[in-house]
Structure 1
Amino acid sequence: MAATSTSLLILMHFVVGGFVVCNLLSIQCNANAEGDALIALRSTLHDPHNVLESWDPTLVNPCTWFHITCDINHRVTRVDLANNGLSGPLSPRIGDLPNLQYLHLFRNSLSGSLPPSLGKLKNLIALDLFSNSLSGSLPTSLGKLKNLTALGLSDNKFCGKIPTSLTHLSNLRFLNLLNNQLSGPIPTGGSLSRFGYNRSHVKEWNEMESTVI
């Protein structure tokens, strides 16, 4: 009987130990994947003030890097890189941060188009990219950001139509598309209906048609 109890204790020890190891490995793998995504972002950007110097790819956990915030499970939830003189395009790997809630890159000199992979950031609450030199059309994938409450894209060079998918952003409370080169009808209905009072300003600072859809 004693031998059986001892065997059970040993078995429980290995099971519990294995569970802890698996969880630690899961956190480490998650940190590695997010770290890889951030390093890919760094590689596409010109950083004249070395604000990304602490982004060391040899470190397992990116939570120790400057301008990065993580939750208690070491998952990246914020990237704060506003007003740092950064230039260059956004890496498509930005979409590989599944727990990201805040992406602040405003008042830089970012260029190129928005990667459609932004639509993978399902936990994103605020996307602030205003005052850059971003161009191209707005990806329809932005309509997948169901938790988004703030979308700031003003003072860029975006062109084409505002995607109707933005009407699906039911939690959106702040929208600024001023001072771009957008054209065509202004989507209405859904979540965008609450921004009706701003419609004349949207038209004034872009080349929008007066029709709505």
Structure 2
Amino acid sequence: MAYFIEVSRKGARLIYSPISKIYGRTLVLFGLTFPRHLQERPQDAQVAMGRLLRTIEDALQENLEAHSRWLELCTTPHEEAVLVDVISSSERVATTASALHGGAGGDGSWPAGGGGGGGNGLLGSSGGNGADGAAVFFQYDAEGQLIDVDAFVLPGTSTWTPPPRVASIKIIACGGGGGGGGCIPSEILAG
């Protein structure tokens, strides 16, 4: 899976650059979780949006031209808003379908999408894999002010130690998706 970031204003593309999987997933997760969180806690907007802008800047570090353009956009006042899109493209998996094996099911989309079911064939077929889960940690001080936001977007075990000023956290988690099942025709099972 490849990730790209596109920044445009009034329909004109200003930046288009590949970014790493971890940054791509982090930006997608922020896009999924921030709107609802900020509806509930609008006072968190400045810190949350600052984290978003820094994450975009970090994602563009590998492309000097795109990074410079992003910094210019962030420091030059404009009346028009910019649109930031994260685009992902996955490789197509070649599958073969026959009377013996139905086609394999597709993998679930990230985060937390379930895999597609396998096609119907004499010997059945495999279902697709479920997608990985993810989590966002909103970190608050003793007065209830948002300090920072962290994202966990890759599978595996992680350890998180709260920074010294953090008194409480709010976690938004997306569980991993289930795999799809294969299928064997009922007349074969009935014997």
Q: TM-score range by the shorter chain?
A: under 0.3
Greater relative contact order (CA < 8 Å, ≥ 6 in sequence) = 2
